[in-house]
Chains A and B, each alone.
Chain A
Amino acid sequence: MGDDSEESRLVARARNGDTTAFDSLITLHRDRIYMHAFQIVRNEEDALDLTQEIFIRAWKALRGFDGTATFSSWLHRIATNAAIDLCRRRRTRSQTEIGSGTMKIDPASQTTPSGGEVPGLSVDRAEIRRRVEEAFATLSPEHRAVIVLKEIEDLSYEEIAEHLRCSLGTVMSRLFYARKKLQGLLRDLHEEL
């Protein structure tokens, strides 16, 4: 409770243009915002740039913060939408959509692609991580966001709908699609575990 009122004071001061107060708010939230951004964009450099962008957006939008949600939730929402925007921009730039039936194979990789694996050969942890990352990368930014918000951060459906400014129906449909896709791509890993 003490922390909340201290944060409210900082927000109030920041709204009046006090950058020292905003600096304190950044310190309070930067780790969590960075981790959340990383969960969606899956790239450290991008997540770092994004964290800065998120706080700049927050500063500009502070006048619109009316206190109905906590500052933390409000910031979290800005972070989710900024991460989705970045993923969309990246997809437009690179046009490298990984189809559900194919995988990008790094020639320098030490591991063999799963399609050519010898039956019975156990998959090491690094390979599992790579497969999970690649499966996750096949999702659109919006589908990634719902998976992160629901399955990693345990938000409720209603909270996710508010976060993404969409209907509950849209949340449910995206989750259903994303889950089915990930299940399909990672099913063979179940046997290895």
Chain B
Amino acid sequence: MRGALAVLVLLLACGRAEAEGDRIWSALVLATKETPPSAIPAGLERFAATIRRIFGYNSLYLLGEKKRDLFSGGEEWLVPSKEFFFRVQSLSRDATFYTLRIELYRDKNLLLTTEAKLAKNAPLYIRGPEWGSGQLILLLEVR
């Protein structure tokens, strides 16, 4: 009996450990077009090619980032900046995706509601407003 209990606890711990390992990362990025292009900040290299291809910008500046633990059924506020932030509810999880309900706020105003299935290391890019001579882009990724 004790042996069976020990196995059960071990299994639960393994499951929990897998969930605990997952985090949701968000960033607020300023994308610009410059000649010559600025160096891409560390941590944004993976996104640079896509941003260049889709949005047409060759330089990136990290304005803020935030990472939180992600649990199935949980809710988190991700605040990469005071001006733009997310409320993320994890609706469900399977072997490959987190199904998330994501709300994007600017200050007190709700801009966008989306339900998305995010795979690990497969980001969501959100095109925000223009700021100065560049474009604000928000990034969300399960890691």
Contacts and interface: CB of A to CB of B under 8 A. Distances in A.
| A/B touching: CB–CB < 8 A | yes
Interface of A: 167-169
Residues of A contacting B: mostly: helix
A90 B12 CA distance: 72
A178 B90 CA distance: 37
B108 interface: no
8 contacts: A167-B53, A167-B54, A167-B56, A168-B53, A168-B54, A169-B54, A169-B55, A169-B56
Q: Which 7 A-B pairs have the closest CB atoms?
A: A168-B54, A169-B55, A169-B56, A167-B56, A169-B54, A167-B54, A167-B53
Nearest to A167: B56
Contacts of B54: 167-169
Contacts of A169: 54-56
Interface residues of B, number: 4
A168 B56 CA distance: 9
Contacts of B55: 169
A176 to B, nearest CB: 11
Nearest to B52: A167
Contacts of B56: 167, 169
A104 to B, nearest CB: 36
A168 B54 CA distance: 6
Nearest to A172: B127
A168 B55 CA distance: 8
Nearest to A168: B54
A19 B115 CA distance: 54
Interface string B33-59: 000000000000000000001111000
B54 to A, nearest CB: 5
Given A167-B56, A168-B53, 5 more contacts: A167-B53, A168-B54, A169-B54, A169-B55, A169-B56
Contacts of B53: 167-168
B120 to A, nearest CB: 23
A128 B93 CA distance: 50
A15 to B, nearest CB: 32
Nearest to B55: A169
B71 to A, nearest CB: 34
A169 B54 CA distance: 6
B85 to A, nearest CB: 25
B57 to A, nearest CB: 10
B139 to A, nearest CB: 17
A89 to B, nearest CB: 28
A167 B55 CA distance: 8
Nearest to B54: A168
A93 to B, nearest CB: 32
B112 to A, nearest CB: 15
A147 B56 CA distance: 22
A169 B55 CA distance: 6
